Structure 1
Amino acid sequence: MEFIKPGRQFDFMGKRWLFIGLSALLLLASIVTFFKPGPHLGTDFKGGTELEVAFLKATEAGDVRAAVESLGFEAPDVIRVKDSGAEDTHRYLIRVQEVSALGEDQKEAIRQKLCSLPEGTAPSADFEARCPANVRASEVKFSPGGDKVTMRYEVEPDLAAIRAQLTGIPGVELRTGENNPVVVSARDHKVEAQLKSRGDQLLDGLRNKLGADRVPERALRVEWIGPKAGAQLRDAAIKSIAIAIVFIMAYIAFRFDLRFAPGGILALVHDVGIALGAMIITHREITLSTVAAMLTIVGYSITDTVVVYDRIRENLTKHRNMSFSSIINLSISEMLGRTIITSGVTSLSMVCFLVWGTGVIKDFAFALLIGILVGTYSSIYVAAPFTEWIDRRFFGGQATAQKKVTRTKAVKRADAVV
């Protein structure tokens, strides 16, 4: 299949300033979106608790948001989740910024109830009478999510008494079940108690506000991540993209020539920046899946750029009488049919995911679709023109000069033979 007839050429370089200006405007607009409205970071990066709930009856998003706010959660996100091809199950994604179910006051209250003395404090006679050794915790630790309390005792603990100690504390509620608390290490007299997490408390509150006939007993899934871990993930994501770009730059410089590397890197920054800007302007979440999409865009974009660069290098030795700009036009024209087929087929698959996919798949497909379109465009109007400018500005047109020198030497050798 041939979309472009062999031998046909297009003057891409003649219109490069028009498209370079367009690229600059798009990239500038993407940078502005990072400040206003700003990226909508997911729970992966900013921390928080996320529940996916399938309500038993038809429920409006406004009613769910109002119920969550009335429970004391600030600025909750309530997102309708639709599953293509399935009947409406009234599913919502509920995201709140709060992570731990326990505040410092509640943690101190638990320590006092468990008869845990500060280190170096000697127990009084009244304290020993009120708190025998089998309910006197020598160590109390809390999980980051506030849904687990670990205690250690000097003697074999009394689980029934410990359960009574943890009952009645405001804002603290044990999960239902016979084996709670439970001994996790008999040798160390270590006990673990499972508390209702922030997600459990949120679901219970929704059941009280909206009715048990509408809110299920359990959420489809509950996830949480602390703000510190989210910040670490965000930094690691930025580093991964930066490291990938650096190694790609080194590969291009080694594979082709130093003058080719800056154009390839500029195209990568251009593609990732515009793709992220499109995600922000359409109010899509920036999550770890988005980072995976950006790394995929980096790989796809550089592959297309390397194909163009390879044809340019081949034509540099084949057409010695042409200028560098003309060789770029020729090379891109020769690769245009292949680029249309490759990018078109890949884009069609992303469109299918975007139309019939669900949740994170849609966001991933959207980012890739934008990246494919912009990546194909940047190989033609960003990487190649910038490489020509680098050659002319910093290498004195060395690519063309080398061809002329080689041709002069060849003519002299021919004259000598004659």
Structure 2
Amino acid sequence: MRLLRLWPDESHFDFMRFRRLTFPLSAIVSVATVVLFLTMGLNYGIDFKGGTLVELQVKPGQKSDVAEIRETANGFGFGETEVQELGGEGQVLVRFPLQAGEQGQTAVMQKAHAAFDAHYEFRRTETVGPRVSGELVQSGTVGVVLSVLAVLLYLWFRFERELALGAIVGTLHDIVLTVGVFIVTRIEFNMTSIAAILTIVGYSLNETVVVFDRTRELMRRYKTIPVVDLLNLSINSTMSRTVMTSMSTTLSLVALVLFGGEAIKGFAVVMLAGVVICTYSAIFVSTPSLIYIGLTLSGAKSGQRETRLARQAAE
């Protein structure tokens, strides 16, 4: 019985011809992400900013009014308050700025209960002080940096110099664009977001290693095949696996986005965008970068016979 194939085995699609478009596009988006990060910044959650978070649920027979809640909360005199509607079912998330001392945080909750108890049920309350938020920022930053460095060191020792550099370019590209998703969508950046970034780094590593393992195998088998043909062959021969992995992961994440609830929706949305970014990067960024890095084979730079044999082997 023939197994399901989402990509034809005999494909000879020329992916490398798009490098003149994808490289400038990725460079522009990456630079734009850095600019937005420096100007707009991330939408830090209570984990990093500190303060008080309250989740309200409108009581039966009542209607939620986000504008009214925002006006009332800002009238408390505790600073600018963020109010966000969740799911459109009467759930509202209110974030009060960090106040000085425990008495300040207590005063926030007292005024919130006095103002909203009549029409809303308090489903969740979280308070994070300045010391805790500072420790979380430090721990999260150190964790991400060390994890990324470990991945980059693994890639450096896992592959030859040119392949390692290409893998590093792709991994850094995926991290930058994932941060760009947080900036553009204004999804709250908290400890769960760090978990999402680290997961995406692992997914990016997986995608890149699969393609580059095939590239290295073909480099040893065909000594005179042109580099462009070699890279196209590498992608085409692993494309069926790439499509299958991406599709299965995407379907799972779509289910989480639609039915997982608000608690993990941000995580699922970022992961879904990350899968698309990593798949795109493995095909159109990290692999074509080997051409510019200067990947060379031990044989001549041209070899029509070996190109033909390579295509026959892929079939």
Short-chain TM bin = 0.7 to 0.9
- For residues 80 and 320 of structure 1, do their structure 2 counterparts lie closer, same or farther at Cα, with a shift above 3 Å needed? same
Counterpart residue identity of residue 182, structure 2: M
2:118 aligned to which of 208, 213, 217: 213
Q: Tell me if 1:92 matches 2:95.
A: no
Q: Tell me if 1:80 matches 2:85.
A: yes
2:258 aligned to which of 345, 355, 360: 355
Paired residues of 1:276 and 1:367 also in contact (CA < 8 A): no
Residue of structure 1 in register with 2:42 after alignment? 39
Q: Deviating runs (4+, > 6 A) in structure 1?
A: none
Q: Tell me if 1:282 matches 2:181.
A: no
Other structure's SS at 2:209 match: helix
Unaligned runs of 5+ in 1: 103-145, 148-196, 408-418
- For residues 208 and 235 of structure 1, do their structure 2 counterparts lie closer, same or farther at Cα, with a shift above 3 Å needed? closer
Counterpart Cα distance in 2 of 1:337 and 1:61: 48
User: By how many angstroms is 1:404 displaced?
Assistant: 5.2
Other structure's SS at 1:220 match: strand
Other structure's SS at 1:92 match: strand
- For residues 232 and 403 of structure 1, do their structure 2 counterparts lie closer, same or farther at Cα, with a shift above 3 Å needed? farther
Counterpart residue identity of residue 202, structure 1: V
Other structure's SS at 2:165 match: helix
Per-residue deviation, residues 16-53 of structure 1 (Å, max 9, x unmatched): 12111111122122222213332111111111111122
- For residues 8 and 207 of structure 1, do their structure 2 counterparts lie closer, same or farther at Cα, with a shift above 3 Å needed? closer
Counterpart residue identity of residue 383, structure 1: S
Counterpart residue identity of residue 229, structure 1: V
Counterpart Cα distance in 1 of 2:212 and 2:257: 31
Other structure's SS at 2:23 match: helix
Paired residues of 1:289 and 1:360 also in contact (CA < 8 A): no
Counterpart Cα distance in 2 of 1:258 and 1:47: 44
The aligned length equals: 297
User: By how many angstroms is 1:91 displaced?
Assistant: 2.5
Q: Tell me if 1:6 matches 2:9.
A: yes
Other structure's SS at 1:75 match: coil
Counterpart Cα distance in 2 of 1:209 and 1:238: 38
Q: Tell me if 1:201 matches 2:107.
A: yes
1:242 aligned to which of 105, 126, 145: 145
Per-residue deviation, residues 187-232 of structure 1 (Å, max 9, x unmatched): xxxxxxxxxx72x53343244445x53244xx32221222343233
Counterpart residue identity of residue 52, structure 2: T
User: By how many angstroms is 1:372 displaced?
Assistant: 0.5
- For residues 347 and 324 of structure 1, do their structure 2 counterparts lie closer, same or farther at Cα, with a shift above 3 Å needed? same
- For residues 55 and 7 of structure 1, do their structure 2 counterparts lie closer, same or farther at Cα, with a shift above 3 Å needed? closer
Considering Cα pairs closer than 8 Å and 6+ residues apart, tell me whether 1 or 2 has the greater RCO: 2
Residue of structure 2 in register with 1:185 after alignment? none
Decide which structure has greater helix share: 2
Which residues of 2 match residues 263-412 of structure 1 at below 5 A? 263-392=166-295, 397=296, 400=297, 402-403=298-299
Counterpart Cα distance in 1 of 2:69 and 2:48: 24
Counterpart Cα distance in 2 of 1:231 and 1:387: 41
Paired residues of 2:82 and 2:94 also in contact (CA < 8 A): yes
User: By how many angstroms is 1:59 displaced?
Assistant: 2.4
Counterpart Cα distance in 1 of 2:158 and 2:22: 27
Other structure's SS at 1:78 match: strand
Paired residues of 2:246 and 2:279 also in contact (CA < 8 A): yes
Counterpart residue identity of residue 11, structure 2: R
Counterpart residue identity of residue 79, structure 2: E
User: By how many angstroms is 1:254 displaced?
Assistant: 2.0
Other structure's SS at 2:84 match: strand
Residue of structure 1 in register with 2:70 after alignment? 65
Residue of structure 2 in register with 1:255 after alignment? 158
Q: Tell me if 1:55 matches 2:61.
A: no
Identity of paired residues, percent? 30
User: By how many angstroms is 1:360 displaced?
Assistant: 3.4
- For residues 204 and 253 of structure 1, do their structure 2 counterparts lie closer, same or farther at Cα, with a shift above 3 Å needed? closer
User: Which of structures 1 and 2 has the bigger CA Rg?
Assistant: 1
User: By how many angstroms is 1:237 displaced?
Assistant: 2.1
Counterpart residue identity of residue 225, structure 1: V
- For residues 271 and 220 of structure 1, do their structure 2 counterparts lie closer, same or farther at Cα, with a shift above 3 Å needed? same
Which residues of 2 match residues 122-201 of structure 1 at below 5 A? 146=102, 198=105, 200-201=106-107
Paired residues of 2:215 and 2:234 also in contact (CA < 8 A): yes
Paired residues of 2:49 and 2:98 also in contact (CA < 8 A): no
CA RMSD of aligned residues (A): 2.2
1:29 aligned to which of 32, 42, 52: 32
Counterpart residue identity of residue 13, structure 1: M
Q: TM-score, normalised by structure 2?
A: 0.87
- For residues 323 and 249 of structure 1, do their structure 2 counterparts lie closer, same or farther at Cα, with a shift above 3 Å needed? same
Per-residue deviation, residues 117-154 of structure 1 (Å, max 9, x unmatched): xxxxxxxxxxxxxxxxxxxxxxxxxxxxx26xxxxxxx
Paired residues of 2:162 and 2:294 also in contact (CA < 8 A): yes
Other structure's SS at 2:138 match: helix
Paired residues of 1:339 and 1:376 also in contact (CA < 8 A): yes
